[in-house]
Amino acid sequence: MTALDVTSAISPLLVPRPFRVIDKIAEAPGVFSLHVVPVEGELFTFTPAQCSMLGVFGVGEAAISISSATDNTEYHAYTIRGAGPISDALIETPIGGVITVRGPFGEPWPLPEVDTGQLLIIGGGLGIAPLRAVIYEAVARKPRFDRLAVVYGAKTPGDLIYPDDLAYLDHAGAEIVLTVDVADDTWTGPVGVVPDLLGVDAGVDMDWVDTTAFVCGPEVMMHFTAVALLRLGMPIERIWFTLERNMQCGNALCGHCQLGPLITCRDGPVANYADIAPFFQVKGL
């Protein structure tokens, strides 16, 4: 086999592409959104919840959800919290700098299959980023839903990101409920964790049997949110999570993102709670 034959046989998802940072938005303390475009060629298409492996030369790669709308043809957005060498290097990339991108990877939110009845989208902390694209698509499909509600919680008011999105959702007629763990003098909304907002006496009440939930956030938050939804009567098969569990290769080769029988980068990141509930509390490798 010639070198050309070997190159042509390699999956495009294995080959990093250089992308240029055209803007960097400070979302919250330590959290930035990078807007990137290919150095050469066109933006690839993606579906809500898919992610890319973002890399910095000489540092490494990390799996980050694409947080722009799927119909945005100007750039892709990635919202990143600095939490280690790779994420720090990514958010320190200046405007005009170059990162690498492989993707997109993963299964999307099953919005086409659930686009009747009531839809509840629940985000905790930076977990709102993998939900951002599906929120925009759900708003576009809103006439098909009986209700569309978004519940979003963060540690403090200053940690709530995407304020322009929240204003857009409110204008578009989506029901929005925000909560924080710790309030300040400016906060007038609910204080507490997301699961405590669910229920007839808690602030968010739905026709639970006819509601589908898309959930993303810290794993402990997702676990207790699922517990609350099941207690309220939501069928387990209507609860969907998205996971970015220690993805490292993006091609189901290394095993670092395994969760029971699930290889997250191959079978996820979106998964039905009925399939992962027995394994959900297994600590990643």
Give the span between the Cα atoms of 141 and 86, in whole angstroms.
Answer: 37
β-bridge pairing 51-56 and 60-65:
antiparallel
Give the span between the Cα atoms of 86 and 93, in whole angstroms.
Answer: 11
- All structural domains of the chain with their residue ranges: 10-105, 111-242
Select from 243, 233, 231, 236 the least CA-distant residue to 277.
236
Peptide bond into 104 cis (omega under 30): yes
The per-residue pLDDT for range 85-107, each reduced to its tens digit, is 999 999 999 999 999 999 898 88
β-bridge pairing 262-263 and 258-259:
antiparallel
Amino acid at the residue 104: P
- Model confidence at 11, in pLDDT bands (50, 70, 90)? low
The per-residue pLDDT for range 172-212, each reduced to its tens digit, is 888 899 999 999 999 999 999 999 999 877 778 899 999 99
What phi, psi does 36 have (nearest 5°)? Answer: -130, 155
pLDDT at 285: 40
Amino acid at the residue 150: V
| Domain 111-242 in this protein, CATH class | alpha beta
Helix (H, G, I), strand (E, B) or coil at 219: helix
* Domain 10-105 grouped into CATH 2.40.30.10: yes
Please state the pTM of the whole predicted model: 0.88
Alpha-helical runs (H) found in the chain: 3-9, 85-91, 129-140, 163-172, 219-232, 264-267, 273-276
- Encoding tokens for residue 23? 């803007």
Select from 41, 4, 48 the least CA-distant residue to 20.
41
Report whether 95 contacts 40 (CB < 8 A). Answer: no
Give the span between the Cα atoms of 25 and 10, in whole angstroms.
Answer: 35
Helix (H, G, I), strand (E, B) or coil at 254: coil
Alpha-helical runs (H) found in 52-188: 85-91, 129-140, 163-172
The per-residue pLDDT for range 205-237, each reduced to its tens digit, is 899 999 999 999 998 899 999 999 999 999 999
